[in-house]
Structure 1
Amino acid sequence: MENGHGAVRQLRYLPAIGSPYGVEAIDFAALRAMDTHRRRVLLQRPDFHVFALVGSGSGTHEADFHSYRLAEGSAVWIRPGMVHRWSDIDACDGPLVLFRPGFLPGFTAAEATAPACWHLDQQRLSLALLAAEHLGREHETAAHTPRLASPALLSHLLAALLLRALPDTPAATDATRPTSRYTDVFRAYRTAVERHFTDWHHVSDYAQALGYDVRTLTRATRATAGTGAKTFLDQRILLEAKRLLAHTDLPVTGCARRLGFRDVGNFTTFFRRQTATPPAAWRAAYGAAHSQTPSTTG
């Protein structure tokens, strides 16, 4: 995604000096100070997580074709591979935590279904900010006093922060609450989809590779993510298709090939079935809309 009319900057995780543990705690003020050329307002695609809390102020943020208005209490979670930009954070203050994908091994599947942006009420925001402050102080200690550093402690504090800030979900009954087995199955499926969605377009491919049957993958995905395994897979392929169409100059045939469709007609049929619009028409409409001031939602 480094070429094209909407070139996307690829961001690699490069920890600051004294931050070798796979996590780094900064804030919006530090981000602005480091980014004197305002590259933050351009499209970017990190290979790491970014979690942010807006403790005060307001602004806007864009992630994967959605624009969000930021205000006190906003939580933002940018996952690896998301195409996003900090449209306007000049007046935002609060913590930002950058961390590698593997820094939270075994974390619950809840983060897979959390949105890119949501809002915390005042009580939950206060608790989340306290958790972020604790993480920040331990990170600073680790950076300045390595003998006191504890990657495990940093990992636990990050997990506590995320669990404190995750959006509410409807109360699950004993009959609908995902079991740990379903959580593990979904986590394995989600990881496999992320690795192979450009090659494997059928749930049966994943079932065979993971040693489950299709029905098990479907039940686990529905119990954990609220959608079927096939829909989950199709949504991942569609998201990448939109990213390619919006942010590169690849022809539709090139996008189809990049996503593992041997025939452009099959890709067009897939895209039209998901969006009710052919890929070329969707690209044209996105380009026209994006040239204007985007509206905000969220």
Structure 2
Amino acid sequence: MRQVHYLPAVGSTHGVEVLSFAALRSMDIHRRRTQPQRPDFHVFALLGSGTGSHEADFHSYRLKEGSAVWIRPGMVHRWSDIDACDGPLVLFRPEALPGLTAPGTTTPACWQLDHQRLSLALHAVEHLSIELGAAARTPRLASPALLSHLLAALILRALPDTPAPTDATRTSSRHTEVFRTYRDSVEERFTDWHHVADHAEALGYDVRTLTRATRTATGTGAKAFLDQRILLEAKRLLAHTDSPVGSCARRLGFRDVGNFTTFFRRQTGMPPATWRATYGADGAGSSV
């Protein structure tokens, strides 16, 4: 699995840049894009025309006009077929979008926009691109705050529809900050703390509070949310590295391989070695 770090193009000094599928293909003559990779930055893409396919964290997606793709840092993905795709890709560091973190938790890697929303989203990308070009040519015109707002406007324009707010959802919004705090703790410490109580104690909440907030935000409880994060990383390690199962277990914070095997079997219905043989890079059922 290739770790991909953000390397800005010449003149892209604000942690945001816009390119196209055509530019990606021209820069990648060895087609490394078709192999699993794990970026440490965001990639947001819109398909203006054409068809193709993309795979992210063991899910395959068919791409067509109006497809939106959001690859978040840490996702393992590959552009399995973008030879006929046309449209923009926006690359940005996490700090370029500081105020819009919650949608990244529940938004799928790929969804579909109707014609009107696609047109508006493409205009938003064009506006962002114009400002980036102006900032590169005339540094005194550069405004990181403006670029961040334009990026946020693009993401908000393209996000999947959500239900209209009700009294219940307005009430539930009080749990949002609690969940964000818990989510950040899980992301930072999931290899160390496998129990919700560990996070609750560190954050100053009780387990029930974290469970209510997580269920409101994601539809699942705090324990299931934590287990799914551990499981996702386990799948990534098994499928995309050649590390022995015991080594994977230790990297994920399990005291011994037996405990890890029990956890993995309970979550997936099969032991880690069987899952790796089925879904790993050399397995017949591999999707990445």
Q: Same fold (TM over 0.5)?
A: yes
Aligned length: 288
For structure 1, which runs of at least 5 residues remain unmatched after alignment? 1-7
The amino acid that maps onto 1:24 is E
User: CA separation in 2, counterparts of 1:49 and 1:137?
Assistant: 20
Judge conservation of contact 2:276–2:283 (CA < 8 Å) in 1: no
Q: Secondary structure at the match of 1:136?
A: helix
DSSP 3-state at the match of 2:210: helix
Deviations 1:245-291 (A, max 9, x none): 11111111111111000021111111111111111111111148844
Q: Which amino acid aligns with 1:152?
A: A
Paired with 2:97 and 2:133, the residues of 1 have a C-alpha distance of 19
Q: Which residue of 1 aligns with 2:87?
A: 94
TM-score by length of 2: 0.95
Deviation of the 1:211 alpha carbon: 1.4
Alignment partner of 1:50 is 2:54: no
Deviations 1:90-116 (A, max 9, x none): 111111111111221121512210000
The partner residue of 2:2 within 6, 9, 16 is 9
Give the TM-score taking structure 1 as reference length: 0.92
Separation in 1, partners of 2:225, 2:4: 26
Query: Residue 163 of structure 1: which of 153, 156, 169 is its match?
Result: 156
Alpha carbons 1:26, 1:96 under 8 Å: kept: yes
* Structure 1 match to 2:70: 77
Aligned to 1:230: 223
Larger RCO: 1 or 2 (CA < 8 Å, sep 6+): 1
Name whichever of 48-57 and 128-137 sits farther off.
128-137
Alignment of 1:126 onto 2:119: yes
Q: Distance in 1 between matches of 2:239 and 2:36?
A: 11
2:234 pairs, out of 211, 223, 241, with 241
- Identity %, equivalent residues: 77
1:218 corresponds to: 211
Query: Quick check: 1:61 aligned with 2:54?
Result: yes
**Offset at 1:141?**
1.1
Equivalents in 1 of 2:164, 2:234: separation in Å? 34
Q: Alpha-carbon deviation of 1:49?
A: 0.5
**Alpha-carbon deviation of 1:122?**
0.8
Q: Is the 8 A contact 1:178 1:224 kept in 2?
A: no
In structure 1, what residue type is equivalent to 2:118?
L
CA-based RMSD = 1.7
Structure 2, unpaired ranges of 5+: none
Judged with a 3 Å threshold, the aligned counterparts in structure 2 of structure 1 residues 177 and 271 are, in CA distance, closer, same or farther, namely farther
Match of 1:202 among 186, 195, 198: 195
**Aligned residue type for 1:21:** H
Does the 8 A contact of 2:238 with 2:245 survive in 1?
yes
Aligned pair partner of 2:18 in 22, 25, 28: 25
Take 1:33 and 1:54, find their aligned partners in 2: how far apart are those partners?
A: 17
